[in-house]
A and B are shown apart, each in its own frame.
Chain A
């Protein structure tokens, strides 16, 4: 197994999970608690990566981050290098493609929080940010862990978007799944097999953790 690819996959997964945590908590809170009708549109957009072929998402991201795009040009101005085929570009792509895996478990968990607790919080003079941190998140711990684990695992296993946006640059964009693809292309089935078994085991362990957490849920707090 390619150690460099493993290290990159882990680095990407950690970074993606961290960014997703920061982005999806407010997003999920807004989706859960807003009274705006167009929330359905936002939910649909968040869920798109689940149904779209990764190549389609990858294609649009490639165009949006390419040297011709405003974002790509701005990036070149600021950093001197291109956004596509870089780790940073890969991170942005991973965050977007894993977004539903973080947001949906959080929305499910937040929806399970008794609305009257939020009303009690408001009556007691507290704003919604305070309520999210003091009431909603502590009562959604299982959902929070599920969101983190799923976005981490999904990033480790991501292939299509990574290939489209990141290409195959060792140490920079060549992740484990690309490494497997590469090994197969060069008929090195033994190397592909080792890496595949590792990913298979990893995924099984992660899902077992998620389902056992979900089974326990937050029932301790149900009154």
Chain B
């Protein structure tokens, strides 16, 4: 596990899934398998744990063959992985302590008690030790389940939609905490989720799955902010993706036309792929803009600022979204903006109001079509 080059190589062919995934096994590195429901994330996770019998999967953990695709080689109980189930799957007839101790094999009573205590402390659940599990709230149960998963010191932790069964306030509280627990434990982890916030909060590395295929993988920020594949744009939550054509490339700054607008895009390339210099005049591109990167101003109020893109349009809908307000603007094509509630009140935005959408050129991401 200390070997930085260690990887878990998974190749799953089952039902609609046909995916090859390579996951770095550095200590405390968290990889997210991200994608919409039905994209095969959980199938891959279950194959890694060996839960579906002969699965047609090939799984090699740090050089150790777990599954050769013919028959299940290493049974689940011998793989030494920890699995956190979506709805925790605690043993309902046992106490919290008994649940956490369940996987502690070959220890004396005293060692077991100590390990139970340590694991519950790690997940901030030590006060629950004597409770029966059916008296726990959703958040408490998930902490206990995580303690149970880490207690036997697994070589790999698998988390299946760890927060989806919780209500919103509990979800946001546990999100940061799970990240801290995973880092503290120093165990590589794979998290399955369809929630963008969860992926960004928990993971270092992201693998995006769509319809059973891996479409993109890389450092999580890069995948989410600068997707290379047009199919990923949608699943990572870039609300606006407009077809455009390149009209001008000067000093790494690309200008494209969308409908009647000219939009400027500039970014510092972080990896191989869609660096602006790879665009030439006449290329077809997809302009991707996050709603939170779009600000709105009243027409005529245009200030002399550094933003390059001022796109006049008309407000279509205004809908509150938590502390923010989502505004759909028609600039000839639909564009989504996410602004604060006071800003929306200040601008007196109503459907039909004329506005200008303002976007920094570094917030405009281009993908080749």
Write the residues of chain A forming the contact surface with B, with a CB cutoff of 8 angstroms: 35, 114, 116-117, 119-127, 134-135, 138-139, 221-223
Contacts and interface: CB of A to CB of B under 8 A. Distances in A.
Contacts of A125: 77-78, 80, 103, 105, 152
Contact of A127 (B77, B81, B90, B134): B77
Interface of B: 49, 51, 53, 75-83, 85, 89-93, 102-103, 105, 133-134, 148-149, 152
Given A35-B53, A135-B91, A221-B134, A122 B85 contact: no
A122 B51 contact: yes
A127 B77 CA distance: 7
Contacts, number: 64
Looking at chain B's contact residues, is the secondary structure mostly helix, strand, loop, or mixed? loop
A89 to B, nearest CB: 40
A116 B89 contact: yes
A120 B152 contact: no
A134 B81 CA distance: 21
A117 B89 CA distance: 6
Given A117-B89, A221-B93, A122 B76 contact: yes
Contacts of B105: 125-126
Contacts of A117: 89, 91-92
B51 A126 contact: no
A135 B90 CA distance: 11
B50 to A, nearest CB: 8
Contacts of A135: 91, 93
Nearest to A138: B93
B141 to A, nearest CB: 8
Contacts of B91: 117, 120, 134-135
B49 A123 contact: yes
29 contacts: A35-B53, A117-B91, A119-B49, A119-B76, A119-B83, A119-B85, A120-B83, A120-B91, A120-B148, A121-B102, A122-B51, A123-B79, A123-B81, A123-B103, A124-B77, A124-B102, A124-B103, A124-B152, A125-B78, A125-B103, A125-B152, A126-B103, A134-B91, A134-B102, A135-B91, A135-B93, A138-B93, A221-B93, A221-B134
Contacts of B82: 123
A119 B84 CA distance: 11
Given A120-B83, A125-B77, A114 B89 contact: yes
A131 to B, nearest CB: 9
Q: Which of A120, A121, A126 has the most CB of B within 10 A?
A: A120
